[in-house]
A and B are shown apart, each in its own frame.
Chain A
Amino acid sequence: MGGHTSNYVPTSRWGKWMDERLPIARMMKNQFIDYPTPRNLNYLWTFGGILTLILVGQIATGVVLAMHYQPSATAAFDSIEQIRRDVNYGWMLRDFHSVGASMFFLAVFIHIFRGMYYGSYKAPREVLWILGVLIMLLMMATAFMGYTLPWGQMSFWGVTVITNLFSALDTIYNGLGTAIVEWLWGGYAVSGVTLNRFFSLHYLLPFILTAVVGLHIWALHIAGQNNPTGLDLKEPSDTVPMHPYATSKDAVGIFAFLLIYAWFVFFVPDYLGHADNYIEANPLVTPPHIVPEWYFLPFYAILRAFTSSFLGIPLGQYAKLCGVIAMFSAVIIIAFAPWLDTSRIRSAKYRPIFKWFFWFFVFTCVALGYLGSKPAEGVYVFAAQIFTVCYFLFFLAVMPIVGLIETPRRMPRSITEAVLGEGGGGLPSGAAAAPEKR
């Protein structure tokens, strides 16, 4: 992995024996103890650790929940209630898991916005970034299928609406969309068969997710971490060893985040969910508003912005198809950021124009989320169309153009200079042990 020399020395006989056969201790020491991390990382860089922890937590709670859950159309809803009421601490497991999905997305959105602000997607971190987008896609698929499992009204109708999106392909090739939808459902309607396969996939995907997270961390340790200045690591004094520096900071970030997580779990577990999901699924009764979970709302707003016309452009029978394409493109386009952004400066700290566009982009995403929760009518549709355009323009216009016309702020020559001021480069730092004694 990372390009620094190893100073792992096995001390026990067993350690030496193992080191010659499977040097896992050497790898751990090199990658997670001695690994050089930029000295100027702020708390936004703790979200990688936070996300890893949530992933592990989701799998742990999920495995136990699966021991009590029954994936069938007749028993699923009641089995969730049984978990809540009769399984020891089942209510806690269940709330940790369902709130955990929301916290996972909260953290991943902050993580992605951080990457965008500090230009973490630029060379040499393109593969790292693409793996990140893949992780988000897998998270979305997993969360979507997981939301089906309680088999409440919103579960059922959410699945019905979202799987039906594929029927838009009928407008390209007659029968193609319908075939795909029926293949997904395992029948001619959403039923217990659909629930069973979603449960199976909901159990499978997190492990694929874990594997991709492994690649993500691998790629991170090849390229090294970005940092708030966006500068490359140039001298040893730019870095500190991961342990105890980055680890102590990560620990603070993780526990502070857990505080928010615990607040939701113990005091407002229903807040991020929807009351209708406490009503058992009923194919004969459609809820008045079908709304996905909050983390899908920006994408849902983009989907619904394509009504029979889009900002005056008539779409006719292709409206649904356009919406579906736009919604998926909204995620996929993030993966192209490394090539859409023409600026060679990474950090928005030194990009006076981009910085403003970045914050407007954050506002755009929040606005789309708000609009996704509103009924698709009147002024909401118009606003959603405007913000959909803003969303895509950020990638297709702002990123390429601003990079060409912007004059960056004066930048320090190195991280060390950024931290210590000019001429302060020579101070010792780096991999010295027992730093607290200095």
Chain B
Amino acid sequence: MQDFMRTFLRRPAGSVGLLLLALVCLLAVLAPLLYPASPWEMAGIPFSRPGENGMLLGSDTLGRDVASGIAHGARVSILIGLASTLTALCIGVPLGCIAGYAGGAVDSAIVRLTEIFQTIPSFVLAILLVAILTPSIGTIILTIGLVSWPQLARLTRAQVKTVSQREFVQAARCQGQSTPSIVLRHVLPNAVSPIIVAGSLTVAAAILIEAALSFMGLGDPNFMSWGYMVGAGRTVIRQAWWMSVFPGIAILLTVVAINLVGEALNDTLNPRISRA
């Protein structure tokens, strides 16, 4: 484990990514201390430029503090990004694994199921699900997870299919290892790199879907989120760029941080790179 951390931190991508992610998390944790007032509260004159009226990043169309919104929104965006990706991974990876390793009728059945999900435009499905389930942070996470798993399942299936043809998997079968042990210890670790990368991209996509849902008015009304801020500021972007740009930068940094961590994780898990 110590070995693992050392290799991870020695990669520039790993340390930079982790640092950025830590900063965003710190912001999320410290939000109530930095901005004790509710981010929904009108704190000053609407359309204040950054730095005016004591507001670091300016105010939005209703005079709410953008900086306060970003701090409070960090919690929701990170929570939604990570939790919904985790949900998608929990559905997609096992299904993909089973389909790819079992093959035959099981494979066809699972592939058909993913195709059903993929033929419905995912955002329309997300709107529908949230509308039915009533918007709350829990249902939003579940919904984003439900619309994001098919790509992960397909990717996992394709990876597992190629890896399980490799000779070392056949060798493991000949060694008498049980099927779950082969899949979990030999196939999955060798199939995982693109899944990690795709997973880190899913985090980004999830934050954006949440943004879009909030923009449609289907976000959780109790929580400020970056997506909501971008959505709300979008209409006046020509007069007041700061309203959407700062939350946009926050989304960008978080996504980059997660991608970097994913990349470093991938390198660390690959002994050919980490031991070089």
The answer to whether A and B interact is no
**Which residues of A approach B to under 8 Å, CB–CB?**
none
**Which residues of B approach A to under 8 Å, CB–CB?**
none
